[in-house]
Structure 1
Amino acid sequence: MDDVLTRSVPTRSVLTHSVLMDVDTGIDDALALVYLLSRPEVRIEAITCTAGNVGARQVALNNLALLQLCGRSGVEVAVGSEVPLEIPLVTTEETHGPQGIGYAELPFPAQQISPRHAVDVWVDTVRAHPGEITGLITGPLTNFALALRREPALPTLLKGLVIMGGCFNYQGNTTPTAEWNVSVDPHAAQEVFAAYSGLPADSLPVVCALETTERIELRPEHLQRLGEAAGAQEPELVLPEQPEGQRSASDNPLVACLSDAVRFYLEFHRLYGQGYVAHMHDAFAAAAAIGRTPVQTRPATVHVETVSPRLIGTTVADFRGIWNEPPNARIVTANDPGQCFDELISSVAALARTLARP
Structure 2
Amino acid sequence: MAHHEALPVFADVDTGVDDAMALVYLIASSDAELVGVASTGGNVDVDQVCRNNLGLLELCRAGDIPVSRGAEQPLADTMRTAEDTHGPAGLGYAELPAHDRKLTSYDSAEAWVRAAHAHPGELIGLVTGPLTNLALAARAEPELPSLLRRLAIMGGSFDYRGNTTPVSEWNISVDPEAAAEVFAVWGRAAESKAIEPHQLPTVCGLNLTENIALTPAILSRLANAAEASSVAMSVLDARGTRSVADNPLIRALEDAMRFYFEFHFDQGEGYLAHLHDPLAAAVALDPGIVATRATTVDVELTGTLTRGMTIADWSRRWGREPNAHIGVDVDPAAFFDRFIERVGPFARRLVHS
Please state which band the TM-score falls in when normalised by the shorter chain: over 0.9
Aligned twin of 1:122:
112
Aligned twin of 1:39:
29
Q: Which runs of 4+ in 1 moved over 3 A?
A: none
> CA separation of 1:227/1:39 partners in 2, compared to 1, >3 Å: closer, same or farther?
same
- AA in 1 matched with 2:346: L
Aligned twin of 2:343:
348
**Of residues 2, 10, 19 in structure 2, which corresponds to 1:11?**
2
| 1:144-186 deviation line (CA, Å, top 9, x unaligned) | 0001111111001110110000001101011100000000000
Residue 332 (structure 1) aligned with residue 327 (structure 2): yes
**Of residues 299, 303, 306 in structure 2, which corresponds to 1:308?**
303
**Of residues 53, 77, 81 in structure 2, which corresponds to 1:91?**
81
| 1:180-227 deviation line (CA, Å, top 9, x unaligned) | 000000000000000111514222100001001000000000111111
Mapped to 2, the partners of 1:321 and 1:132 lie a distance apart of 31
Mapped to 1, the partners of 2:231 and 2:21 lie a distance apart of 17
> CA separation of 1:89/1:309 partners in 2, compared to 1, >3 Å: closer, same or farther?
farther
**Of residues 271, 276, 280 in structure 1, which corresponds to 2:275?**
280
- Secondary structure in 2 matching 1:196: helix
Number of aligned positions between the proteins: 347
Aligned twin of 1:111:
101
Q: 1:167·1:177 contact (CA, 8 Å) conserved in 2?
A: yes
Report matched runs for 1:133-144 at 5 Å: 133-144=123-134
Residue 222 (structure 1) aligned with residue 218 (structure 2): yes
Mapped to 1, the partners of 2:100 and 2:352 lie a distance apart of 20
Q: 1:252·1:357 contact (CA, 8 Å) conserved in 2?
A: no
TM-score (norm 1): 0.94
Q: 2:8·2:119 contact (CA, 8 Å) conserved in 1?
A: no
Aligned twin of 2:38:
48
Mapped to 2, the partners of 1:315 and 1:292 lie a distance apart of 21
- Secondary structure in 2 matching 1:356: helix
Aligned twin of 1:266:
261
Mapped to 2, the partners of 1:99 and 1:142 lie a distance apart of 21
- Secondary structure in 1 matching 2:106: coil
| 1:5-44 deviation line (CA, Å, top 9, x unaligned) | xxxxx423x4331100000000000000001111112111
**Of residues 248, 264, 270 in structure 2, which corresponds to 1:253?**
248
Displacement after TM superposition at 1:355 (Å): 2.0
Mapped to 1, the partners of 2:278 and 2:63 lie a distance apart of 21
Aligned twin of 1:26:
16
Displacement after TM superposition at 1:356 (Å): 2.5
**Of residues 135, 139, 144 in structure 2, which corresponds to 1:154?**
144
Mapped to 2, the partners of 1:230 and 1:293 lie a distance apart of 27
Displacement after TM superposition at 1:309 (Å): 3.2
| 1:297-344 deviation line (CA, Å, top 9, x unaligned) | 101111101112321111110012111111111101111100000111
Q: 1:15·1:43 contact (CA, 8 Å) conserved in 2?
A: no
Q: Percent identity?
A: 47
Q: 1:138·1:165 contact (CA, 8 Å) conserved in 2?
A: yes
Displacement after TM superposition at 1:292 (Å): 7.5
RMSD of aligned residue pairs (Cα, Å): 1.3
Mapped to 1, the partners of 2:256 and 2:215 lie a distance apart of 13
Mapped to 2, the partners of 1:139 and 1:35 lie a distance apart of 16
Mapped to 1, the partners of 2:88 and 2:97 lie a distance apart of 15
- Secondary structure in 2 matching 1:355: helix
- Secondary structure in 2 matching 1:61: helix
Gaps of 5+ in 1: 1-9
Displacement after TM superposition at 1:82 (Å): 1.0
Aligned twin of 1:75:
65
Q: 2:160·2:206 contact (CA, 8 Å) conserved in 1?
A: yes
Residue 171 (structure 1) aligned with residue 167 (structure 2): no
- AA in 1 matched with 2:263: F
Mapped to 2, the partners of 1:131 and 1:292 lie a distance apart of 17
> CA separation of 1:104/1:293 partners in 2, compared to 1, >3 Å: closer, same or farther?
farther
Q: 2:6·2:30 contact (CA, 8 Å) conserved in 1?
A: no
Mapped to 2, the partners of 1:265 and 1:293 lie a distance apart of 28
Aligned twin of 2:135:
145
Mapped to 2, the partners of 1:354 and 1:128 lie a distance apart of 30
| 1:63-112 deviation line (CA, Å, top 9, x unaligned) | 11111111112000000101100010000000000110000011343201
Higher normalized helix content (fraction of residues): 2
Gaps of 5+ in 2: 191-195
Displacement after TM superposition at 1:129 (Å): 1.8
- Secondary structure in 1 matching 2:35: strand
